[in-house]
C-alpha cells in the first residue's frame, strides 16, 4: 500500500503525533452534529477533509464492500469538499454516489433506500456561506453510533495510505435523487391530501431544497410562489429562510397568500407564516401536529422538546395530558430521547422537528406537509388551527463573558436566580446556559407578565456581567 501522507493531518500544537488514543479519549473532531467551522480554518480545510474521507472509508472497509452517498448544500465550498471526500474514500477503496445539492433529510432517506453503507452531508445548515461542515448518517439514515465516530477519530491518527490501483473506489452521479425524494415526501401524507386552492410562498433560503421543495407542494396542487431559489454559492441563508423569515412575511401579505413556508439552508428546519403575516415557530408546528393526531386518535406516548421550548407550550401539553420531556439543544439529543422512550414527535422552537413515524431526522418539508394535512382535514386556516396555544412572553439576552468556561455556579448568580424564580412562582421559568461556540452566557426568562419578565432578565444580565466580567 502506498503512503499518501506520512503524518496525520492535525496541527502539531494541538495533537502531537505520538499522542495515545483509546475509546475513552474525549472526541477531538466530532461535535454534537458532525464537524463544522470556518472554511479554510482547521479542521474545515481540504487537507483535513481528504483525510476524513479516507478515515471513514477505512472504517467502512472493515465492515465489507458497499457505497457511500455524498450530498451537499449550495455553498461555494461544497464543490471543493465534495471532490476531496470522494478522493479520500476512493483511496480507501470505497465507491461513492454523488447526489449533488440535496436537503440533509433527503440524504438520510436515500442512504437508507439505496442501501448505502453511510451517507455524508457537506453543509453548515443555517450558518453563513463562509462556514461549512461534514456530518454523517449510518446505513439506517440515523446519526452515526458513538463507537463508529470513535473509530473514525482513531483512524485519523494513522498515516494515510492508498489501496492497490485495482481496488480504488469509483464515483458515479445519482441523477434521479431529487425525484426520488419528492415522491417520498408526498408519500408521508394520505392520498386524499390535495392542496388545490392554496397559494403558498415557499422560501428555500437559496439552499439545498431550492429545486425540491417548490415541486413537492406544486405537485400536490398548490399554487407556489418561489423565494430563495437562486443560489450562487454565497447567498445561502442570507436574509432569508427559516432564520430570517421577515421577507417571507412581507411576501405572504403582498401576494395575499394563504401561508408561507421557510426552510433553512440544508432543509431540516422550517418555520411557517399565516395569512396575516404571523410567524409560527417549532413549538407552534409541533402543537398543530400533536393536536391533529390526538383528534384522529393516532398519537401515542409524549413529546420531546429542548430547554428552549416555551413554557406556554409545556403548559398546553400538560392540559391535554401529554407528557413532555426537555433535553439539551440539538436534534441529536431529541432523537436519542425519542428512541429511548419509543415516542415519535419532538423538536425545538428553531423549527428542527422530528416526526419519527415518517423519517429518521429533522425534515422541514415533511413537517410542513403534516401541518398542511391537518389544515386540510380540519378545513381550517393556519391561523385558526394554531388556536389553543397561549405562549408566555420570553426574553432571551446574551452576555459576553471573559472566559467561555466561566462558571455559572457563582454564589451571587445562583442567589439571583433563586430570587427571580421565587418572584415568578409557578408561572414561569429561568434558564442560564453557556454557549457551546462563543464566550457568551445566554439568559432566558419566561412568565405571564411581560414587564416582569423583562425586568428580571435585565437584573440577571447585570449580575452575570458584574460577576463574570463581560459586556452585554
* Burial of 32 from C-beta contacts in 10 A (0-12 / 13-18 / 19+): middle
- C-alpha angle 90-74-251 in degrees, rounded to nearest 5: 160
- Within 213-335, strands assigned E span 223-227, 259-263, 270-274, 279-280, 303-306, 324-327
Q: Is 190 a catalytic residue?
A: no
Among 85, 151, 155, smallest CA distance to 121 is for 85
- First-to-last CA distance in the chain? 56
Residues contacting 193, CB < 8 A, separation 6+ = 220, 369, 372, 373, 376, 377
Q: How far is CA 332 from the centre of its chain?
A: 9
8 Å CB contact between 398 and 470:
no
Which residue shows C-alpha cell 472566559? 403
Residue 89: how many other CB atoms lie within 10 Å: 30
The three cell numbers of residue 28 are 477531538
Rounded CA gap, 118 and 113, in Å?
11
Query: Which one is catalytic: 125, 138, 381, 407?
Result: 125
Among 235, 173, 225, smallest CA distance to 200 is for 225
Q: Which positions are catalytic?
A: 125
Amino acid at each position: 500500500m502506498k503512503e499518501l501522507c506520512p503524518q496525520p493531518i492535525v496541527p502539531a500544537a494541538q495533537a502531537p503525533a505520538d499522542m495515545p488514543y483509546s475509546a475513552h479519549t474525549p472526541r477531538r473532531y466530532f461535535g454534537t452534529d458532525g464537524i463544522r467551522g470556518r472554511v479554510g480554518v482547521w479542521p474545515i480545510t481540504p487537507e483535513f477533509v481528504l483525510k476524513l474521507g479516507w478515515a471513514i472509508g477505512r472504517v467502512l472497509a472493515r465492515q465489507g464492500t458497499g457505497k457511500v452517498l455524498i450530498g451537499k448544500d449550495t455553498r461555494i465550498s461544497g464543490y471543493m469538499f465534495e471532490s476531496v471526500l470522494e478522493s479520500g474514500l476512493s483511496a480507501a477503496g470505497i465507491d461513492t454516489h454523488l447526489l449533488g445539492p440535496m436537503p440533509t433529510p433527503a440524504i438520510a432517506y436515500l442512504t437508507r433506500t439505496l442501501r448505502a453503507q453511510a451517507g455524508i452531508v457537506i453543509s453548515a445548515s443555517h450558518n453563513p456561506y463562509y462556514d461549512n461542515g461534514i456530518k454523517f448518517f449510518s446505513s439506517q439514515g440515523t446519526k452515526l453510533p458513538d463507537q463508529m465516530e470513535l473509530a473514525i477519530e482513531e483512524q485519523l491518527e494513522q498515516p494515510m495510505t492508498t489501496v492497490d490501483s485495482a481496488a480504488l473506489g469509483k464515483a458515479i452521479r445519482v441523477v434521479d435523487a431529487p425525484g426520488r425524494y419528492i415522491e417520498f415526501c408526498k408519500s408521508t401524507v394520505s392520498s386524499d391530501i390535495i392542496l388545490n386552492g392554496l397559494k403558498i410562498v415557499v422560501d428555500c433560503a437559496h439552499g439545498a431544497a431550492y429545486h425540491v421543495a417548490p415541486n413537492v407542494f406544486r405537485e400536490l396542487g398548490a399554487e407556489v410562489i418561489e423565494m430563495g431559489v437562486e443560489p450562487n454559492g454565497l447567498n445561502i441563508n442570507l436574509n432569508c429562510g427559516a432564520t430570517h423569515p421577515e421577507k417571507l412575511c412581507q411576501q405572504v401579505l403582498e401576494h395575499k397568500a394563504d401561508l408561507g413556508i421557510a426552510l433553512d439552508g440544508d432543509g431540516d428546519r422550517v418555520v411557517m407564516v399565516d395569512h396575516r403575516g404571523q410567524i409560527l415557530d417549532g413549538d407552534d408546528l409541533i402543537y398543530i401536529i400533536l393536536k391533529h393526531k390526538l383528534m384522529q386518535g393516532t398519537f401515542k406516548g409524549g413529546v420531546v422538546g429542548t430547554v428552549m421550548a416555551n413554557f406556554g407550550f409545556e403548559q398546553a401539553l400538560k392540559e391535554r395530558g401529554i407528557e413532555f420531556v426537555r433535553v439539551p439543544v440539538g436534534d441529536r439529543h431529541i432523537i436519542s430521547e425519542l428512541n429511548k422512550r419509543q415516542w415519535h414527535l419532538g423538536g425545538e422552537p428553531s423549527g428542527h422537528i422530528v416526526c419519527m413515524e415518517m423519517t429518521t431526522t429533522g425534515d422541514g418539508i415533511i413537517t410542513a406537509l403534516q401541518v398542511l394535512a391537518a389544515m386540510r382535514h380540519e378545513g381550517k386556516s393556519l391561523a385558526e388551527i394554531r388556536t389553543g396555544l397561549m405562549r408566555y412572553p420570553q426574553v432571551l439576552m446574551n452576555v459576553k463573558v471573559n472566559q467561555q468556561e466561566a462558571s455559572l455556579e457563582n454564589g451571587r448568580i445562583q442567589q439571583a436566580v433563586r430570587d427571580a424564580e421565587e418572584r415568578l412562582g409557578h408561572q414561569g421559568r429561568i434558564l442560564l446556559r453557556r454557549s457551546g461556540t462563543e464566550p457568551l452566557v445566554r439568559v432566558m426568562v419566561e412568565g405571564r407578565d411581560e414587564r416582569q419578565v423583562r425586568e428580571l432578565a435585565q437584573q440577571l444580565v447585570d449580575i452575570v456581567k458584574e460577576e463574570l466580567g463581560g459586556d452585554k
